[in-house]
Amino acid sequence: MVVSIEPPVTKTKPTPVVEREEITVRFAGDSGDGMQLVGTQMTNTSAMFGNDVSTFPDFPAEIRAPAGTLAGVSGYQLNFGARKLRTAGDTVNALIAMNPAALKTNVEDLEQGGILVINDDAFNPTNLQKAGYKENPLENGSLERYQLFRIPMEKLTAEACKDTGLTARNIARCKNFYSLGLVYWLYGKSLEPTERWLQDKFGKKADVLSANLKALRAGYYFGETTDMFSVRYLVPAAKIAPGRYRKVTGNEALAMGLITAARLANKPLFYGSYPITPASDILHELSRHKNFDVRTFQAEDEIAAITSVIGASFAGALAVTGTSGPGVALKQEAIALAIMTELPLVIVNVQRGGPSTGLPTKTEQADLHQAIWGRNGEAPCCVLAASTPADCFHMAMEAFRIAVQYMTPVFLLSDGYLANGAEPWLIPDPSKLDKFVVKHPTTHNDTDHFLPYKRNPDLVREWAIPGTPGLEHRVGGLEKRDITGDVCYEPDNHDHMIRLRRQKIDNIAKTVPPLEIYGNTNGGELLVLGWGSTYGPITSAVERCRSKGLDVSSAHLRYLDPMPQNSGEILKKFRRVLIPEMNLGQLRAHIRATFLIDAIGMNKVQGKPFTINEIETQIGSLLHQQNGRKS
């Protein structure tokens, strides 16, 4: 289809272009303003042209709070760079604020001197009041620290789209593409991928398509034409491993990892779950892939979800449940049953702000203790944590690998930041993935008997499944006699089994890759130890500090229980250990209890990730103290 728009009046001289290593942009507006959409578009465009990208959306807790209110603000932050990125960016270089509420809730994250693009039309008295502004902040000098650009986006969009035949109301909906066009100009991005996407999406609705295209181009040409902006920025392509890429969020990657494991094992995948933010998208994603023999069961509650998974595992499926912290609380009784019956299954916990209902749409990593220690009795199970959105793919497969190899439930911890954050993912070649062979016995393992609790040298029993003649047996939550699996109340057997179950979990460490040091492999002054989604800010902060010559290294635990066998050894190579966590020190307590190391805590529990800068500062001040003390 043909969309025409006035060619831009050429400027007296073209705007100069400055090169940058990375840029962080945030789109913010009302939930109804389509900010997630344009953010995603810009992410794709940046990635396709070779930038590394990392993104994080910030949804409001309410579905659709009244338009214009603070509660209704939705944001999307994109970091694109010419180098490896590990976070969505500390401070925002450019903020696009579509209304006063969006300005209010976001402007504090904008860097001093940052670009502030405002949809001027939305700054009317009603909206100002809804946002709680007593006076118009655009006019009282309160935004002096920023480069303020007031653009009447609604008027300009209306003007651009006036001939599309759309109603005024529908035209107003296109203003997000206007803002995107402008930002594309500002960062020298091509319109082409977004134009293509619009064609695909609205190909059948000519008027909507044309209006969005016009708005996009009008925004772009506005940049071309106006003299407002004194510089444009360009972020060159990053050096990235060659291959085919796509963008994945942690939840998408996790779902794909689960399907991949089942496919490689040639098994049905059973997912029993009850919806909960921020884990629900795994259910949504899996339910779209029934042709992979994925069987999703939306249970009546979390207890039915986990117990159905236990049943499915008993019957021989690769079985997994996903939830967030409050859901895990409800599942713990049943997880202990899976520990007792020694059945393989995976429990995904996409952590969110707690305790209780807490901050359901925000991120946190305060469920580590719950995973390791949160059950009655001695109930050890394996605990893993993914470190980046794409790593969720790998760790999901690992979780199944360990579950089946060791006949045990495995926790896989993710969090809201990983779940919804996105990064590019090098699409693997399925034929090159490790084989995943699952064996079920078909014959007796004793003279004319099947002994369900007979074990291999790693203490693992066999996974005999219903439908197999001759291997009929019973499992349950009462203490079992070792080898026979009969109910047994004898004191010595109980003690034996309690230790055996712990030992079996400890044996997993044999198959866990060693902990790696990023930095000084021989040890040194300071090790920053992380787990889960702190990987990004920690690694980048250490990288920066090291480039400044500081004696700091980092290590990241993706296996929390058991930890890699060399963990203690590595920790002891460093004079001090710093553990940044989005909780009050849960890994720290685990490390202290295990290794008696006086690790230093760095704790931020604000529902949002660490910035690189925060960790960098902390490293600096620790090493500075150190030097101070030494001298």
Partner 1 sequence: MSTESSVIQLTAKDYASDQDIRWCPGCGDYSILQQVKKVLATVGAKRENTVFVSGIGCSSRFPYYMSTYGFHSIHGRAPAVATGVKVANPALDVWVATGDGDGLSIGGNHFLHTIRRNVNLKILLFNNRIYGLTKGQYSPTSPLGKKTKSTPDGSVDYPLHPISVAIGAEATFVARSIDVNVKHLEHVLERAAKHKGTAFVEIYQNCNIFNDMAFEYATSKETKDDTTVFLEHGKPLIFGKDKKKGIRLHGMNPEIVELGGDIKEDDLLFHDEKQVEPSLAYLLSRMHFPEFPEPMGVFRAVERPTYEDMLMGQVDAAVRAKGPGKLEDLYDDGETWVVN
Ligand X SMILES: Cc1ncc(C[n+]2csc(CCOP(=O)(O)OP(=O)(O)O)c2C)c(N)n1
82, 101, 304, 336: which one binds its own copies (CB under 8 A): 336
CB of 290 to partner 1, least distance (A): 4
CB of 566 to its own copies, least distance (A): 20
Interface region with ligand X, contact rule CB under 6 A, candidates 212-220, 234-242, 270-278, 587-595 = 270-278
Amino acid residing at 113: G
In whole angstroms, give the CA distance from residue 371 to residue 398: 17
Cis, bond preceding 537 (omega within 30 deg of 0): no
Q: Which is nearer to partner 1, 49 or 233 (CB)?
A: 49
Q: Would you call 191 helix, strand, or coil by DSSP?
A: coil
Residue 316 lies near partner 1 (rule: CB under 8 A): yes
339, 412, 464, 615: which one binds its own copies (CB under 8 A): 339
Please state whether beta strands 73-81 and 92-97 pair in parallel, antiparallel, or not at all (unpaired).
unpaired
Q: How many other CB atoms are there within 10 angstroms of residue 333's CB atom?
A: 15
- Cα–chain-centroid distance for residue 456? 37
137, 278, 325, 424: which one binds its own copies (CB under 8 A): 325
Q: Which is nearer to partner 1, 341 or 388 (CB)?
A: 341
Give the C-alpha distances (Å, rounded to integers) separating 365 from 75, 244, 257: 22, 32, 21
Look up residue 563 and give its two tokens: 């930890």
H-assigned helices in 31-96: 35-48
Q: Would you call 305 helix, strand, or coil by DSSP?
A: helix
Is residue 624 classed exposed, middle or buried when 0-12, 13-18 and 19+ CB atoms within 10 A define those classes?
exposed
Which of the choices ligand X, ligand SF4, its own copies, none does residue 64 contact, using the CB cut-off of 5 to 8 A by kind?
ligand SF4
What's the chain's Rg over C-alpha atoms?
A: 27
Which of the choices ligand X, ligand SF4, partner 1, none does residue 334 contact, using the CB cut-off of 5 to 8 A by kind?
partner 1
Cis, bond preceding 513 (omega within 30 deg of 0): no
**Cβ atoms of 554 and 539 closer than 8 Å:** yes
Residue 66 lies near partner 1 (rule: CB under 8 A): yes
Restricted to residues 562-591, the positions that interact with its own copies (CB under 8 A) are 583-584, 589-590
Residue 489 lies near its own copies (rule: CB under 8 A): yes
Q: Which is nearer to ligand SF4, 72 or 562 (CB)?
A: 72
Residue 358 lies near ligand X (rule: CB under 6 A): no
Which of the choices ligand X, partner 1, ligand SF4, none does residue 232 contact, using the CB cut-off of 5 to 8 A by kind?
none
Residue 5 lies near partner 1 (rule: CB under 8 A): no
Look up residue 371 and give its two tokens: 């995973």
Q: Would you call 379 helix, strand, or coil by DSSP?
A: coil
287, 493, 507, 613: which one binds partner 1 (CB under 8 A): 287
Residue 326 lies near ligand X (rule: CB under 6 A): yes
Residue 28 lies near partner 1 (rule: CB under 8 A): no
Q: Which is nearer to partner 1, 46 or 611 (CB)?
A: 46
Give the C-alpha distances (Å, rounded to integers) separating 139 from 21, 296, 336, 598: 33, 54, 61, 53
Q: Give contact residues for its own copies (rule: CB under 8 A).
A: 61, 324-326, 328-330, 332-333, 336-337, 339-340, 351, 353-362, 364, 366-367, 369-370, 372-379, 476-479, 489, 491-492, 494-495, 498-499, 501-502, 583-584, 589-590, 592-594, 596, 598, 604-608
